[in-house]
A and B are shown apart, each in its own frame.
Chain A
Amino acid sequence: MISIEQKQNEIVETFRLLEDWMDQYTYLVETAQSVAVSEAVRCDANRIRECQSEAWIDIRCNDGKINLAVDSDSLLVKGMLLLLVRILDGEPLATVCSAELDFIETTELYQNVPPARITGLRSAVSKIRGVARQAAVKKNRNGLKK
């Protein structure tokens, strides 16, 4: 299984190979279009508030691992959120809590998307970490009880 660091590096490399903003834009759009999302993800509890456009993230913890589903009316936002899913989905809770996520700053993505979208992406990261932390604490407590 490849590490979070490797997955981030792959994204950074992909963006480096895409020559200009339009290729990067197209890549994010195609990424968004390639993933069908259940309508159930679009509920109020999953809303990412700081995002300029409507965006949702469904975060679940199963067997000590994180499972993510995302959606947005904006293909650009959905594409960026899917990069996050690619990196974190299926990872152990402890890894999610401690992972250094620097793909936003190290890709050209950072220069090529409006700041409000970056804020939304960061807000999604902290939402995931918050859920993972709570689930990890709960898991540890349950472990101690047993």
Chain B
Amino acid sequence: MFDVHKIRADFPILAGPDAYLDSAATAQKPQCVIDALTDFYSNDNANVYRAEYDLARRATERLESARQTVADFIQAASPAEIVFTSGATDALNRLAAGVSEGLSPGDEILVSAAEHHSNFVPWQRLCQQTGAAFRIVPLTADGGVDLPAFETLCSPRTKVVAVTQVSNVTGKENPVKAIARIAHAADALCVVDGAQGIVHRPVSVRELDCDFYCFSAHKLYSAMGTGVLYGKKARLEKLQPALFGGEMVDEVGDQQTTFASLPLRHEAGTPNVGGIVALERTIQYIIECRASGALEYEAQLTSYAAAELQKISGLRLCGTGARSAGIFSFNLSGIHFYDAGFFLARSGIAVRSGSHCAQPLMRHFGVEGTVRVSLAFYNTEKEIDRLTAALRRLQTCIG
């Protein structure tokens, strides 16, 4: 049985007075993850690979153990398909750089209008550099990928399709499995931004059948500065390394260099071993939480928040209907989102206001920005009540 009060006690920062409703920006960290980070630097810190002493061997073992844990968590075929990065943004930029050699004018890249800038701008830049066409997949009124329109756009010219699994603005889930199938029928690569998706649902890359999937550890209750790029083995082998130096090389000649095998060839420099070790502990923690009903609790809390927000007159939600993550973006009639965000901040409620790194999606909804509330399994109905009470006070103040 899921006990939110017991869960909250795992997160030291939640002992403070504020209601933290900004987990889509970064989630708070449980004590066991903070301890794992400290423990690594206290007991196992050494640089990984190519050293014979015990400490380095332990650090390497811990890194490789984490790689296996991540592979199992997302059901990758092998740990060789897991590349550690500094985050989802880093992963997506490396992907865009890594596929550039195969692109030429006449080719196309399809990106949805619902993307976070990190899954939009790298592809836009890549098209500018290679002469490939940058095509934006239209959205439904709700802000999801318009599947029939996508299918029409997808053609033999399409080389890459990049979509988010769950929107960081609306919490809506895209039909990624269908998108991957359509992309593959056109012989295109399917890249999935899982930064929000992996936080709120079990992910099987095998089932999604995407070619690449990436996420950031910090949104998944782990440390900042760590991320994961999953790629099908054959795809990762074909992908050009975007960063060079360190453990990723095999032989460095005066004129030519050969690269290490997977996954190290995509991991230049010293990895964030502490963060990676902490991610392994986080995954163990999340598995425990999910086994006790965290996902069901989140779904229930999301429904409660949706119902309570809809009771507020003059509140316009971006993307209505069912959502698979507790992420709500809205505006209050006659109130600028920054004024609302500031009012909530001073009322002890942490939310985000702005365009949420998704300006194309803001244009789709015809707004300049929104207030965004995002929930995690440590939030409570009481915090939602605090939010809605503050929004009503704000309306009285400005109305």
Contacts and interface: CB of A to CB of B under 8 A. Distances in A.
A25 interface: yes
B398 A75 contact: yes
A39 to B, nearest CB: 17
A21 B342 CA distance: 11
Query: Interface majority SS on B: helix, strand, loop or mixed?
Result: helix
A21 B346 contact: yes
Interface string B364-399: 000010000000000000000000000000000110
A73 B397 contact: no
Contacts of A74: 336, 338-339
Contact of B339 (A22, A54, A75, A112): A75
Nearest to A51: B338
A54 B343 CA distance: 18
A114 interface: yes
B326 to A, nearest CB: 25
Given A54-B368, A73-B368, A112-B346, A25 B397 contact: yes
A46 interface: no
Interface in B269-318: none
A76 interface: yes
Nearest to A33: B398
Interface residues of A, number: 16
Contacts of B354: 52
A25 B343 CA distance: 8
Interface in A18-71: 21-22, 25-26, 29, 52-54
B239 to A, nearest CB: 38
A26 B393 CA distance: 11
Contacts of A114: 338, 342, 345
A113 interface: yes
Contacts, number: 35
Given A52-B338, A76-B339, A26 B368 contact: no
Contacts of A73: 336, 368
Nearest to B396: A26
A76 B342 contact: yes
B336 A75 contact: yes
A29 B398 contact: yes
Contacts of B336: 53, 73-76
Contacts of B345: 114
Nearest to A73: B336
A74 B342 CA distance: 11
Contact of A113 (B335, B342, B368, B397): B342
Contacts of B368: 54, 73
Nearest to A72: B336
A28 to B, nearest CB: 9
B390 to A, nearest CB: 11
A22 B346 contact: yes
B27 to A, nearest CB: 23
Nearest to A54: B368
A113 B343 CA distance: 10
B38 to A, nearest CB: 32
A76 B346 contact: no
Nearest to A28: B339
From B335, B339, B342, residue with most partner A Cβ within 10 Å: B339
A21 B394 CA distance: 13
A75 to B, nearest CB: 6
B387 to A, nearest CB: 16
Contact of B346 (A25, A52, A77): A25
B301 to A, nearest CB: 28
Nearest to B346: A21
Contacts of A26: 397
A77 B339 CA distance: 9
Interface string B343-374: 10110000000100000000000001000000
Contacts of B397: 22, 25-26, 29
10 contacts: A25-B342, A53-B336, A73-B368, A74-B339, A75-B335, A75-B336, A75-B398, A76-B338, A76-B342, A113-B342
Interface of A: 21-22, 25-26, 29, 52-54, 73-77, 112-114
Given A25-B343, A29-B398, 19 more contacts: A21-B346, A22-B346, A29-B339, A52-B338, A52-B354, A53-B338, A73-B368, A74-B338, A74-B339, A75-B335, A75-B336, A75-B339, A75-B398, A76-B336, A76-B338, A76-B339, A114-B338, A114-B342, A114-B345
Minimum-distance CB pairs A-B, first 6: A74-B336, A53-B338, A76-B339, A21-B346, A73-B336, A74-B338
